[in-house]
Amino acid sequence: MAYRRAERKQRLLFPESLDEYISQEDPVRAYDAFIDALDIELLGIEFDQRKVGSPQYDPRIMLKILVYGYSYGIRSSRKLERALHHNVSFIWLAGALKPDHKTIAEFRRRNKKALKGVLKQCARLCIELDLIAGNTLFVDGSKFRGNVSLNSIWTQQRCQKYLAKLDQRIDEILAECDSVDDEESDDRSLVELKAELSDKQKLKAKVEGVLTKLQTEGLSQFNSTDKDSARMHGRQGSHAGYNAQIVVDDQHGLIVHSDVVNANNDLGQFANQVEQANQTLDEPCNAACADAGYANGEELEKIDAQGITVIVPSSKQARGKDSGPFDKSRFRYVAEEDVYVCPEGIRLPYRRINGSRGQMEYYPGRGVCTKCRHFGVCTNNVTTGRKIIRYENELVRQKIAAEYEKAYSQQIYSRRKQKVELPFGHIKRNLGVGSFLLRGLAGVRAEMSVMCSCFNMARLICLFGVSGLISRFMVFG
């Protein structure tokens, strides 16, 4: 049986060009065309071909290296540098240029704002190509770990405990120093003690500075390594990180907008994310959809006031359980008298506003509900009886709840998971991104923008193929 054998040192009469090593349908060509279609100057990246001085790497090539690397889960500057020496697609993309890891890291650090704008330009290209309709938008969020430890999170209580331990250790060191002086021991032990004392005093000053910041700014916690990160609670437990937000278009599941916040939940994010997505679209969408985690009446009202259909279930609707015979929906509100009437005919007049939350309380008063045959089932409160909370925007809440129950809205909501949760699955599982590399909101927003652009590129390649996508991008080149 014959074998095909290789000869590494065989010389070629007509050597192949670098371009011949990459097939015409290799995805790297699509990423190359994508970056060429972007407006570098609009992104804010300095690009001056007449600039004097030592030659720099073409910023467009540097951007290609970063975006293409992120699309395959290669984000570390050292790994990108290694790929530029060993990976043929990277060598082709960079034209055999080999910037080192420091150059790559510095480019990413200096252009965080520009990297954040990559997704917006990507979405604008898709709009020009009629790939994003902007009729229905889906909003969702997911937690990502930050490049920081929970040990860097400080509270006032932790600072005070730590300072107490430091003071105790400093006193012990001073006592040991006095003992060494009295015993006239060797100089080495005294030097070591003085070095430890200096370290403890520096650490004490640092902790005192953190405590002062917490007290003066009224913060509940502060991360001394990454001041923008916060303690996040998720399925994998608690960790220091961020809450990533995306807005996805219904037509092809392409991401229109991404953002990163340090809020631990999604309750205050709906209006902000939808409005920023509409800015990218240059017009308001027809409908905006999200899960019950976004069911905040004030946020939903902001979008509803713009004439946009809001499809967000309340927490009660999301649970899908029967409301029961004594649910709030069973109580009839009489607007003329500003009173609720329970199923048994008992009247619950307006009593007071519940604190500063804009919630109005309605209840019959002492001794009324105790005479009812449903006392103990409807309520156990002897003092006030059954209490009903009415919100200032109660009518809007009822309107949105009724909208969610419509058949058309249910059809839209049924597509939510496949549209808006798929990108997070691709980023976390396919790209292997469990945490951000950069620190601070500017850094993590830049990373999220690039990763979302990579998802859009993967979708576009699936839809049109490499050659078909390149032909579409050439219009903008």
- Using CB atoms within 10 A of its CB, is residue 9 exposed (0-12), middle (13-18) or buried (19+)? exposed
Read out DSSP for 189-239?
HHHHHHHHHHHHHHHHHHHHHHHHHHHHHT-S-EESS-TT-EEEEETTEEE
Do 403 and 301 belong together in one domain? yes
How confident is the model over 176-199, as pLDDT tens digits?
Answer: 776 766 665 555 566 777 777 777
Q: Is residue 211 part of a domain?
A: yes
- Give start and end residues of each alpha helix (H) in 264-416: 270-281, 297-304, 315-319, 394-405, 407-414, 416
> Rounded to an integer, what is the distance from CA 230 to the centroid of its chain?
12
Q: Are 41 and 102 in contact (CB under 8 A)?
A: no
Q: Which token pair is 186?
A: 């060797």
Residue 414 pLDDT more than 80?
yes
Do 286 and 428 belong together in one domain? yes
Do 296 and 166 belong together in one domain? no
Q: Is residue 183 part of a domain?
A: yes
Do 186 and 167 belong together in one domain? yes
Average of per-residue pLDDT across 381-405: 91
Helices 59-71 + 27-37 axis angle, to 10:
140
Number of domains in the chain: 4
Average of per-residue pLDDT across 294-305: 92
How confident is the model over 327-383, as pLDDT tens digits?
Answer: 888 899 998 999 999 999 999 999 988 866 778 999 998 889 988 999 989 999 988
Do 47 and 100 belong together in one domain? yes
> Rounded to an integer, what is the distance from CA 159 to the centroid of its chain?
29
The residue out of 385, 419, 434 marking a domain boundary is 385
Do 94 and 61 belong together in one domain? yes
Read out DSSP for 382-402?
TTT-S-EEEETTHHHHHHHHH
Q: Which amino acid is at 171?
A: D
Q: Are 422 and 388 in contact (CB under 8 A)?
A: no
The residue out of 385, 415, 434 marking a domain boundary is 385
Do 23 and 95 belong together in one domain? yes
- The partner residues of 230 in beta bridges, in order of sequence, read 241
Q: Are 384 and 363 in contact (CB under 8 A)?
A: yes
Q: Which token pair is 382?
A: 């002897």
Kindly list the distances between the CA atom of residue 232 and the CA atoms of 149, 151, 241, 242, in Å, as whole numbers in the listed order.
12, 13, 6, 7
**Cα(424)–Cα(33) distance, integer angstroms:** 25
Do 31 and 112 belong together in one domain? yes
Classify each residue of 66-96 as buried b or exposed e, where b means 16 or more C-beta atoms within 10 Å of its C-beta. bbbbbbbebbebeebbebbeebebbbbbbee
How confident is the model over 255-292, as pLDDT tens digits?
Answer: 999 999 998 899 999 999 999 999 999 999 999 999 99
Print the domain residue range for 356.
Answer: 328-385
**Cα(200)–Cα(194) distance, integer angstroms:** 10
**Cα(404)–Cα(316) distance, integer angstroms:** 12
Q: Is residue 66 part of a domain?
A: yes
